[in-house]
Each structure stands twice: as structure tokens, then as C-alpha cells.
Amino acid sequence: LPRDHRLRDRKRVPLDALRDERFVAGRRGSSCHAFVRALCERRGFEPQIAFETDDMAFTGALVDAGVGVAIMPALLIASAAFTVR
């Protein structure tokens, strides 16, 4: 989540709470893109994918800039140079 996101202070954020958000996801056809779509569809919504990239550092930078939210591995977030949560 971007640093100024309304849900930023929660320890866990249910995916349902992000149904109206724009997402940053992997490029169409990638396993990351398919993973995000499948998770969201399982929760009953189609993600609004605002930007596609296969570069995880760039994904973090886009989220940090407020372009959208992303589903990322916790290990990557913990060791990243960006300030998303």
C-alpha cells in the first residue's frame, strides 16, 4: 500500500477491502498477472489493473508513488528500498 493509503496502519488488509483500488501487477500473460487476477476473482471482483510491469522494484516504486496497490511477497517488502507496506 502507498504510504498515505487509508488502510496503511492495519497489520493485515483483507483483499476485499481493495476491490475499488487500482492495482500494479505483472505483465499480461505472466504468472504474477494471473496470480493477482485469480486471487481477486476468487474474492468476487475483477482487479482494475492500472499498470503492468515485471520489475518488482519498479512495482514498489509505482505503489510508493500512489499509482496503485500491489500484491507482493512479504520478504521482498521487508528488504525493499521503497516504503510501501
3-class secondary-structure state, position 69: strand
DSSP characters over 72-84: --HHHHHT-SS--
What pLDDT, in 10s, does the model give residues 17-71?
A: 999 999 999 999 999 899 999 999 999 999 999 999 998 888 888 998 999 999 9
pLDDT of 79 strictly over 80: no
Tally of residues, the chain:
85
Q: Indicate whether this model's pTM tops 0.75.
A: yes
| DSSP collapsed to 3 states, 12-51 | CCCHHHHCCCEEEECCCCCHHHHHHHHHHHHCCCCCEEEE
